[in-house]
Amino acid sequence: MEAKQSPQSGELHVLLGTEQTFPPPEHFAAQANANDPQIYEQAAADPEGWWSGWADKLEWIEPYEQVLDWSEPPFARWFGGGRLNASANCLDRHVAAGNGDRVAILWEAEDADDPGSGSERDGGRRSVTYSELLEMTQRVANALKSLGIGQGDVVGIYLPMLPETVAAMLACARIGAIHNVVFGGFSAESVKERMQFSDAKALVTADATLRRGEPTPMKKAVDAVAGEIATLEHIVVVDRCGTNPPMSDGRDHFWHDLLDRADPDCPPEPMDSEDPLYILYTSGSTGKPKGILHTTAGYLTGVTATHKLVFDLKPETDVYWCGADVGWVTGHSYIVYGPLANGATSVMYEGAPNYPAEDRWWQIIERYGVTIFYTAPTAIRACMKWGREHPDAHDLSSLRLLGSVGEPINPRAWLWYREVIGGGRCPIVDTWWQTETGAIMITPLPGLTTTKPGSATIPFPGIEATILDSAGKEIERGAGTLVLTRPWPSMARTLYREHERFIETYWQGYGSDVYLVGDAARRDEDGYFWIVGRIDDVINVAGHRLSTMEVESTLVSNPGVAEAAVIGIPDEMTGQAIVAFVIPEGGDGDDMEKELRDYVAEKIGKLARPKRIVVCDDLPKTRSGKIMRRILRDISVGEDLGDVTTLRDPEVVKDVERRFAEQD
């Protein structure tokens, strides 16, 4: 059933996703790139043919011999025998095709209208053409080479949202080095750990990052841990804020000094299809982050195809903006590799959506005439809270397509996004995928798919997803474990240096050729998928993936904490929020809440700061001493606790309940 009229914001909450459907607007379907419904059938009948069609749009140095080798799953080899270079595909070929003057990045500083706190070279706005980005990339590539970085070496990248960040990634790709980007919001401790796990040889960072008008030091923070990264030989520093960080002779180099000296010509290294392109650490069930490894040809094929079709990209005319940070996989695939491989013009914004004011995003959309906008539900909910007067004060009529990613989007936010931001005329693509999948897996195609608010709809052509029960039986309609049953080009190939863990985590639940996603999902009567959430100890806070175990081990590393249990509870703004129950070590634990919240923020990053710390004398445990997190969860959300008689000490529950209520 089509929406009869635009819902008023006051009644949005009464509309359930399943009741309303939104067919693609007719004008859109007629003009869209992907307006041939047969692509689904064609891709299903001949997936290898489908993917090789996309691979053939890339520029190859040596053609591949075989599309897919899946003879020993989960070992996958895509486009075997081929050679290519990712940076050449993102840059050189567009320049060679005569598009060197096309803008690749429209960069907007946080303080664009008052660029006082920025480095003077930058100014507040920059537009970087494909030719310019190519030149910068080649210089960085030569600079890295001059530091002894070569094929297979790992280079850490810990930078704010700058064109330099993109050039650093592409420079690695150009010389066959493997980049390992760490989100700028993570702590130096997290950087250290990720550099240690990957034996990074160099790290590219900035003197500071601008946050709400204030430069926040990055280089100085890195200095405090750099000595503990045994393999680290060089630190390259982008001078973003002009804060004059201390520089260590021989080890530290300013980006601009290296680039000034570097040759502007660096031919791309011919890389094997399966050579590693990058590692990206993400949270898993255990405390130790997982180094997801993506390789060159398959990844590039996957992101090119999905970016083009899901966003109906028309590179000549679109102004595309993905509001994620480059430090997440969304940034890797849909700020850097997908858009650049497709020759798109992208907006890149350095700062927060509400700085200096709550209309910052809408101001940017108006200024640049953004046509495609991609963001996360948590951001949409924040904008809803700030009020529609902010978007309403701007001309957003350039928008023609909206995207959502990172967590399930509640129908109310979906409808608000559609009406208030999209003016009721823009299709919404709710894209489900993961760091591991490299590219979008379940999504509408905007010119083809009828959407339902809250559903990521159906698998992308060539992708096969299903839902299984615990016995491995397929569930046609209903809820269960989401799995992907066919290999796809951008799939993760391993966990860096932990291949066994890779197999155990993803490929052993239902057989070595069935990819275990880690999400529960439901399939409705139309075959549409509805993502329910994680089934492991991973939680999703504001679209950021975190491990409860990681937060727990951080808490117990504090000398004031004897034991800790961390859970995620539903949160209206952030999807989920962290609640930590802690038993103090000695002392009575008075006033330790704030200290511990800050401690976690300092050790992992602000994104992991618990919303609540509940100090208790004891935690509910089984007779064998295992903490019953289910009970903590039930207490936190006010659920009936059910049977607690199996606990070692059922009385503990009452104490925890009381503490939870008291400290609210």
Give the residues lining the site for ligand WT7 (CB under 6 A): 282, 328-330, 405-408, 430-435, 456, 518-519, 531, 534, 540, 545
Q: What is the DSSP letter of 325?
A: -
Q: How far is the CB of 280 from ligand WT7 (least distance, A)?
A: 9
Token pair belonging to 4: 């009869």
Beta bridge partners of 180: 156, 279
Q: How far is the CB of 277 from ligand WT7 (least distance, A)?
A: 17
Q: How far is the CB of 610 from ligand WT7 (least distance, A)?
A: 19
Q: Which is nearer to ligand WT7, 347 or 405 (CB)?
A: 405
Q: Which is nearer to ligand WT7, 196 or 434 (CB)?
A: 434
Q: Which is nearer to ligand WT7, 400 or 534 (CB)?
A: 534
Q: Which is nearer to ligand WT7, 52 or 466 (CB)?
A: 466
CB 329 within 8 A of CB 434: yes
- CA 251, distance to chain mean position in Å, is 31
Q: How far is the CB of 333 from ligand WT7 (least distance, A)?
A: 8
| SS3 of 274-316 | CCEEEEEEECCCCCCCEEEEEEHHHHHHHHHHHHHHHCCCCCC
**Rounded distance between C-alpha atoms, residue 458 and residue 279, angstroms:** 28
> Which residue is associated with the tokens 């992708």?
463
Nearest to 411 by CA among 5, 8, 15, 3: 15
Q: How far is the CB of 307 from ligand WT7 (least distance, A)?
A: 13
**Rounded distance between C-alpha atoms, residue 432 and residue 437, angstroms:** 10
Buried b / exposed e over 2-12, threshold 16 CB at 10 Å, is ebeeebeeeeb
Phi-psi region of 582 (alpha: psi -120 to 50; beta: other; left: phi over 0): beta
Q: How far is the CB of 537 from ligand WT7 (least distance, A)?
A: 13
Q: How far is the CB of 455 from ligand WT7 (least distance, A)?
A: 9
The DSSP line for 166-194 is: HHHHHHHHHHTPEEEE--TTB-HHHHHHH
Q: Which is nearer to ligand WT7, 85 or 443 (CB)?
A: 443
Q: Which is nearer to ligand WT7, 368 or 417 (CB)?
A: 417
Q: Which is nearer to ligand WT7, 382 or 517 (CB)?
A: 517
**Rounded distance between C-alpha atoms, residue 435 and residue 440, angstroms:** 10
**Rounded distance between C-alpha atoms, residue 34 and residue 20, angstroms:** 24
Q: How far is the CB of 434 from ligand WT7 (least distance, A)?
A: 4
Q: Which is nearer to ligand WT7, 166 or 531 (CB)?
A: 531
Biggest alpha carbon–alpha carbon distance for the chain: 74
Angle at 440 between CA 434 and CA 442, to 5 degrees: 95
CB 371 within 8 A of CB 315: no
> Which residue is associated with the tokens 């890295």?
144
Q: How far is the CB of 207 from ligand WT7 (least distance, A)?
A: 28
Q: How far is the CB of 76 from ligand WT7 (least distance, A)?
A: 19
Q: How far is the CB of 660 from ligand WT7 (least distance, A)?
A: 26
Q: Where are the alpha helices (DSSP H) in 557-614?
A: 592-603
In terms of C-beta density within 10 A (0-12 exposed, 13-18 middle, 19 or more buried), how is residue 646 classed? exposed
Q: Where are the alpha helices (DSSP H) in 24-127?
A: 26-31, 38-45, 47-55, 86-87, 93-94
Identity at 357, one-letter amino acid code? A
Identity at 260, one-letter amino acid code? D
Q: How far is the CB of 409 from ligand WT7 (least distance, A)?
A: 7
Name the CA radius of gyration of the chain, rounded.
25
Q: Where are the alpha helices (DSSP H) in 387-460?
A: 389-392, 411-416
Q: Which is nearer to ligand WT7, 273 or 306 (CB)?
A: 306
Q: Which is nearer to ligand WT7, 100 or 518 (CB)?
A: 518
Q: Which is nearer to ligand WT7, 210 or 514 (CB)?
A: 514
Q: Which is nearer to ligand WT7, 91 or 492 (CB)?
A: 492
Q: Return all residues near 343 (Cβ < 8 A) that are at least 6 apart.
A: 94, 97, 99, 102, 130, 315
| Interhelix angle 592-603/188-198, nearest 10 degrees | 40
Q: Which is nearer to ligand WT7, 112 or 428 (CB)?
A: 428
Q: How far is the CB of 279 from ligand WT7 (least distance, A)?
A: 14
Q: How far is the CB of 615 from ligand WT7 (least distance, A)?
A: 30
Q: How far is the CB of 121 from ligand WT7 (least distance, A)?
A: 33
> Which residue is associated with the tokens 């200290």?
595
**Rounded distance between C-alpha atoms, residue 274 and residue 175, angstroms:** 15
| Interhelix angle 548-556/592-603, nearest 10 degrees | 120
Token pair belonging to 271: 């890389």
Q: Which is nearer to ligand WT7, 140 or 567 (CB)?
A: 567
**Rounded distance between C-alpha atoms, residue 62 and residue 79, angstroms:** 11
Q: How far is the CB of 58 from ligand WT7 (least distance, A)?
A: 23
Q: Which is nearer to ligand WT7, 413 or 531 (CB)?
A: 531
Strands 465-468, 478-484: pairing is antiparallel
Q: Which is nearer to ligand WT7, 406 or 459 (CB)?
A: 406
